[in-house]
Amino acid sequence: MKRLGIISLFTLLFAVFIIVWNYSYQSGLEEAYIPINNNKPTSYFLENEGMEYSKFDLDYANMPFDENHQRTLEEYYKNRAYYGAPPIIPHSVKEDLNIGRNSCLQCHQSGGFSKRFKAYAPIVPHPEMTNCKQCHVPQKSNSLFSETNFKKGKFPEVGVNSALNGSPPTIPHPIQMRKNCLSCHATPSTPKKIRVTHPERIDCMQCHVQSNNNINISELEVFIRKNYTNEK
């Protein structure tokens, strides 16, 4: 009788366990089946994450400075069809079949000196976007299909963006997909004209504001303070 009692107790316990487990499993499934996320998905362009990329600031600050292998700003602009265009790939690409990803990023994520090109690899400001060849294409030919009348506009100049002598210059370009300031302004491949003197100071936009690229100034009206005392 005692034995039977123990057995039935265990059977009961087991049955309860099965039921509970099954219930939790089912509800787990159910939960998994209603994963409709009502929150709007996050944008796939990092907003406000600029600072995260500044985490190598001290490395940049301590990096030796190789003046013999530095690009000029003219070279930097030469690879762009217009000011703000995605640069072309100025070198041949071994494998055409991939979208870019690691084969591009192995040089362009953290930079470094390339013996083959005798230059420092520029660092991509948006390494999270891996379909590189979606926007950046190598040039296989020098000829044109037909002549074009399109002219490159002027590119921004350096040294004229400060209000006062020595005040922090404004950012003369859009920062969409270029939020990682240091990748262009502090690496060994940086043209010396746009090289930052203080990469260790992380929050670039604390001092450097964007000039009016993103705002259509002409749409803004002059602000006139309401004089409440004179109001009826």
The footprint of other proteins on residues 105-134 (CB under 8 A) is 128-131, 133-134
Q: Is 58 in the site for other proteins (CB under 8 A)?
A: no
Q: Is 193 in the site for other proteins (CB under 8 A)?
A: yes
Tokens of 84: 């703000």
Q: Is 227 in the site for other proteins (CB under 8 A)?
A: no
Closer residue to other proteins in complex, CB, 55/198: 198
Query: Measured from the CB of residue 28, what is the shortest distance to other proteins in angstroms?
Result: 10
DSSP letters, 174-224, are --TT---HHHHHSSTTS-GGG--S-GGG--GGGT--B-GGGS-GGGSPPP-
Closer residue to other proteins in complex, CB, 1/36: 36
> How many residues in total does the chain contain?
232
Closest CA to 54 of 172, 173, 208, 170: 208
What phi, psi does 89 have (nearest 5°)? -90, 110
Q: Which residue of 6, 69, 176, 203 would you call a contact of other proteins, by CB under 8 A?
A: 176
Q: List all residues 6 or more positions away from 87 whose beta carbon is below 8 Å from its beta carbon.
A: 79, 80, 136
Q: Is 178 in the site for other proteins (CB under 8 A)?
A: no
Which span sits near other proteins by CB under 8 A: 1-9, 10-18, 170-178, 224-232?
170-178
Site for other proteins in 71-100 (CB under 8 A): 81-86, 88, 96-99
Angstrom distance (rounded) from CA 124 to CA 87: 11
Site for other proteins in 5-24 (CB under 8 A): none
Q: Total number of residues binding other proteins (CB under 8 A)?
A: 82
